[in-house]
Structure 1
């Protein structure tokens, strides 16, 4: 029973942490009205949050190497609780930007520390499963965060959204302290990886990181565009998000499909589904059809992200910890640009942009696969 509770803890923590990337998407108008700011200024707050979150991902990994990872998770959640409540006291654009940026940075303490904790505290099979649960939580947060904020604003106001998540972080801090077993800090005799190692500058690895950059950027941009394009159909859009949520648990099966069909084939298939979804979205304006296509898109991304992590991890070899940290930073940097892309371009042009970018990624991955196969034959 305790094992199941620990798994639930990591899933819930992943959802609550990553939800903050997306929770403002349905409530920009209410936020702008509440703070007496423009819609564009409200959108830019998501960029500030996500960039600070990405920076936190880079900083807290090395910090956790010198301290108890359980304690870092505990204090990270306590700090997140305090800073999330601080957001509710914002009365100006400057105070809101500052508090959201600080909140994002501190929330960056979860992902790298949680992954590292799994390697230290659990056996191989259990570690793999819990990491898959964390990844699933991150993916589900893309929809759940929007659902929670839109529901809460309909009943209360935008501040209530942050009250809710503040209480969640307080509960998670208690869970980290009482549920997670402490593990000894591993003393290493040699310095940790740096970003200057040659293995991290392989062309395939750069390709993997480039694809990482556009993946979450496309996810955030598309849902930003949905919120703007279907602004008069908020109720229908709420149900659309609920339906898309069905596709997120597929990430749990990604390791099985990778073993059965090979990693490159899974990546290529997912990109093909993403491109096809975007092409068909351009051809229709009906929300019902868009909902069905978004389900395919979310399902493909749910399988694509853990497969991409595996691809980058395999290429990095003994530099895997540094590569995964760089992956996390690149993923969230792309997400931070997503709201800006959606704000600058129309729905159709956003779709065209990502069709081109993913098309280029498909061509390069296909070329890499053929090159690899030729080397094996030789």
Structure 2
């Protein structure tokens, strides 16, 4: 039996979407917003030593600074994603940015680690309102001819935040107190809120005459799409690897000196910047085929890293290849969710992003367990996660093929 098309009362009607956004003005601001939002998860990694010294805690506590944000971030997608359709993408996005500025400021002023962990959960929850609103706006307001490139650019920005946030954080803490990173982020949130208010088109929310529960009604329906679930799980494992490898490198002390660490992190940037250019060639492949390609590339790089982890230059290249593979997976999962979700794009995108950051929550935990045994153990563990992601992707592709045959 074919899976029914999901219908959400919160989605604007087609006539409401006649006013298309200006891609040239919108894309740069969305890219910066995506970098800033997701980057909040990763900025503490280079600050672990300074934060531990301030708070007199162990490295295990510091990994929770990452996981706490990821936990809240994942919850924010599900909580705020459907609301962006109900109350308007611009409204939810701008309000979310302003509140994120306040909570990020408070996080930077946290007097102790337990307070910081609690604030990081709240920070993640609030910042989690930003990506679903952006992705839903792209799906409804960006011209169809520009949509693939814009989606890939923003999805790549979420991924690039892994490295860019660490580079910025490391550079700042070399000259200023670690709290400066959070204070600066708060200022950027407030600034971007004002800019977004100007560049985004007016809201066309719908469904306010319905009870609030109707805004969330599509989420359980999304979770009943059998072909989507293995892909979501594969995306979660991939994100766990992304966060786990950089956290593990920091814990193991594999690379000595800030210069080598900076080079290791920066090595992946050229690949990340190149990913949007691959949007058109990759679109010739099916979504599952894109995911298989990405997982295979990442898995090969991770296995190779188990043997070459002691050589910083080689490791930098392998990390760049790893990031390139993982960078193909995330947009494929997001676009699969949007396509399979039918009219419930916002709910489907929220569920997809929720799965990513559930995986990100476990990345630092995996690193904390495996990294003390050496980088090779960490790399083999992460490679095993990628092989599991490959199996799930192939299973999802099989279900998707069967679904298409039944529908046909």
Q: TM-score of the superposition, structure 1-length normalised?
A: 0.91
**Paired residue for 1:310?**
335
Where structure 1 has 5 or more consecutive residues not aligned to the other structure, the ranges are none
Partner in structure 2 of residue 288 of structure 1: 313
1:30 lines up with 2:50 in the alignment: yes
In the alignment, which residue of structure 1 is the partner of 2:249? Answer: 226
**Equivalent runs, 1:105-184 vs 2, <5 Å:** 105-184=125-204
The Cα shift of 1:202 comes to 4.4
Asked if 2 retains the 8 angstrom alpha-carbon contact of 1:250 and 1:303, the reply is no
What CA distance in whole angstroms lies between the structure 2 residues aligned with 1:188 and 1:78?
23
Equivalent residues of 1:143, 1:245 under 8 A apart: yes
The partner residue of 2:40 within 20, 37, 44 is: 20
**CA apart distance, 1:33:** 0.9
Matched pairs, number: 376
Which residue is equivalent to 1:248?
Answer: 272
- The reply on whether 1:74 has 2:98 as its aligned counterpart is no
- Whichever structure has more helix as a proportion of its residues is 1
Q: Name 1:354's counterpart in structure 2.
A: 382
| Counterpart for residue 262 of structure 1 | 286
- In 2, Cα distance between equivalents of 1:320 and 1:119: 8
Cα–Cα, structure 1 residues 302 and 35, in superposed 2: closer, same or farther, change >3 Å? same
1:351 and 1:158, CA in 2 relative to 1: closer, same or farther beyond 3 A? Answer: same
Report the secondary structure of 1:37's partner residue.
coil
* 2:365 paired residue among 340, 349, 353: 340
Report the CA distance between 1:297 and its aligned residue.
0.6
User: Alignment partner of 1:65: what SS?
Assistant: helix
Partner secondary structure for residue 109 of structure 2: coil
Q: TM-score, normalised by structure 2?
A: 0.85
How far does residue 16 in structure 1 lie from its aligned partner after superposition? Answer: 0.6
CA distance in 2, matches of 1:202, 1:181: 32
* Aligned CA distance change for structure 1 residues 312 and 72 (closer, same or farther; 3 Å): closer
Q: Deviations over 1:8-53 (max 9, x none)?
A: 1111111011111111111111111122322221221111111011
- Partners of 2:124 and 2:42 lie apart in 1 by 12
| 1:45-98 residue CA offsets vs partner (Å, 9 max, x unmatched) | 111111011111111112223323212222211111111111222112232122
Q: Distance in 1 between matches of 2:29 and 2:290?
A: 29
Mapped contact 1:84–1:103 kept (Cα < 8 A): yes
Tell me the residue number matched to 2:302: 278
Equivalent residue for 1:63, pick from 67, 83, 87 = 83
1:205 paired residue among 218, 228, 234: 228
Conserved in 2, the CA contact under 8 Å of 1:73 and 1:109? yes
Query: Contact 2:97–2:193 at 8 Å: present in 1 too?
Result: yes
Deviation of 1:218 after TM superposition, in Å, equals 0.3
